[in-house]
């Protein structure tokens, strides 16, 4: 624990209690508000010792600014993740990714033919099938585009949930640190 000393004010004659940590710095007199320079450590030890000033130290605030800024950053990240996941979840739900029934039926028929064909006939079957496939047998382009967008939106939803989890973790971490700090100071 640092020692405290009585520094006489040259203007009004009252004493200012200073600690070793204030050596070489400026302090103001509580009586006349004159700025006084605290002597160096060697000269400070020549002054009369004093009792430590009563009251709370300056650093014992209930919640330190680090905890509050971390808490607000965590909340901002949390809300950003919720907005990201919610927005892309809503967009994902509006996509039309259902393949038409006739395209799905054609695929099922081709898969059944492939399953039943012997190995040496697969190439001939593939050749005849690939030539007979028309554009009508394929899903429409807007459905294919929606399926591609759906995959992207799903990845962005997962990213939003990850950001939300990080924000929640950060918020809870700084909230717990702030509570612990406030309890230890009281």
Q: DSSP assignment, residue 25? A: S
At 73 the pLDDT is: 92
Do 96 and 176 sit in the same domain of this protein? yes
The burial class, CB within 10 Å (0-12 / 13-18 / 19+), for 164 is: buried
Domain that holds residue 35: 4-50
Q: Is 50 exceeded by the pLDDT of residue 135? A: no
How many other C-beta atoms are found inside a 10 Å radius of the C-beta of residue 118? 7
Q: What percentage of residues in the chain have a pLDDT greater than 90? A: 24
Question: 132 and 92, same structural domain?
Answer: yes
Least Cα distance to 24 among 4, 39, 8 occurs for 39
Judge whether residue 90 has pLDDT over 80. Answer: yes
Q: Is the distance from CB of 83 to CB of 44 less than 8 angstroms? A: no
Query: What pLDDT, on the 0 to 100 scale, is given for residue 60?
Result: 46
Q: Answer yes or no: do 45 and 70 share one domain.
A: no
Regarding predicted confidence, which is higher, 173 or 109? 173
137 occurs within a structural domain: yes
Tens-place pLDDT, residues 36-87: 888 888 888 888 888 766 655 544 456 678 888 888 999 999 999 999 999 9
DSSP string, 30-88: TTT--EEEPPPHHHHTTSPEEPPPPS--TT--SS-HHHHHHHHHHHHHHHHHHHHHHHH
Q: Among 13-27, 44-58, 86-100, 111-125, whose mean pLDDT is lowest?
A: 44-58
Say what the alpha-carbon torsion angle 135, 138, 144, 148 is, to the nearest 10 degrees. -120
Residue for token digits 């001939």? Answer: 124
**Same domain for 29 and 102?**
no
Average pLDDT value over all residues in the chain: 81
Tell me, yes or no, whether 55 lies in a domain: no
Asked, for residue 60, whether it belongs to a domain, the answer is no
* The pLDDT of residue 134 is above 80: no
Q: How many domains does the chain have?
A: 2
pLDDT at 113 over 80: no
DSSP SS3 for 186: coil
Scan for tokens 């054609």, then name that residue. Answer: 106
């Amino acid at each position: 624990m640092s020692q405290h000393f009585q520094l006489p004010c040259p203007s009004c004659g009252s004493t200012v209690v200073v600690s070793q940590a204030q050596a070489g710095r400026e302090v103001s007199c509580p009586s006349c508000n004159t700025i006084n320079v605290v002597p160096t450590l060697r000269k400070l030890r020549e002054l009369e010792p004093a009792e430590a000033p009563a009251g709370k130290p300056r650093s014992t605030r209930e919640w330190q600014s680090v905890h509050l800024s971390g808490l607000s950053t965590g909340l901002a990240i949390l809300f950003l993740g919720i907005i990201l996941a919610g927005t892309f979840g809503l967009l994902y739900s509006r996509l039309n990714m259902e393949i038409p029934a006739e395209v799905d039926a054609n695929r099922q028929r081709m898969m059944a033919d492939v399953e039943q064909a012997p190995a040496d006939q697969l190439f001939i079957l593939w050749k005849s099938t690939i030539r007979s496939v028309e554009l009508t047998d394929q899903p429409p382009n807007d459905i294919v585009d929606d399926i591609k967008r759906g995959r992207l939106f799903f990845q962005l939803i997962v990213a939003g949930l990850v950001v939300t989890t990080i924000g929640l973790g950060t918020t809870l971490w700084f909230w717990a640190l702030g509570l612990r700090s406030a309890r230890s100071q009281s």
